[in-house]
Amino acid sequence: MPKNFDQEEIGGINIIAAGTMLTGDLISSGDCRIDGTLKGNITSNSKIFIGKTGLIEGKIQCNSIDIEGEAKADITASELLSLKASAILTGNIRVSKISIEPGANFVGNCVMQNPSPTPIPGIENE
């Protein structure tokens, strides 16, 4: 019998665990935590967290993002991008706000702009 999902379960937290490799694009309306490897693009209307063992290679579009691991990506975040001390980011970023802890490594260009009022196409907005 198929499982019925409550509205709270839809758009919940998505996790790619350490030791897992995903090739392809990920589209989500909920938060995403990456502790493994994602080779592809990720789009979310919520928050993305890249853990210390996490790696993303592709394009990232999100509301906000915290990076402790590594991203080889062009990033568009409508709110905050936070680079923790262990973060390695190679790519261009377009954000509203940025926080960089001492020790973080960032190579690329940064454009700071006001948050975009338009939703990200392709996913439902809450």
Predicted confidence at residue 11, as pLDDT, reads: 55
Q: Is residue 55 part of a domain?
A: yes
Helix, strand counts (H, E) of the chain: 0, 14
Q: Which of 93, 90, 38 is nearest to 65 (CA)?
A: 93
Total domains present in the chain? 1
Q: Is residue 7 part of a domain?
A: no
Residues near 4 by Cβ (< 8 Å), separated by ≥ 6?
none
Domain range for 76 is 14-112
Predicted confidence at residue 17, as pLDDT, reads: 96
Q: Is residue 81 part of a domain?
A: yes
Q: Is residue 8 part of a domain?
A: no
Q: How far apart are CA 30 and CA 64, in angstroms?
A: 12
The pLDDT confidence band at residue 12, using thresholds 50, 70 and 90, is confident
Q: Is residue 25 part of a domain?
A: yes
pLDDT surpassing 80 at residue 7: no
Q: Is residue 119 part of a domain?
A: no
Predicted confidence at residue 115, as pLDDT, reads: 61
Predicted confidence at residue 13, as pLDDT, reads: 87
Q: Report the percent of the chain where pLDDT is more than 90.
A: 77
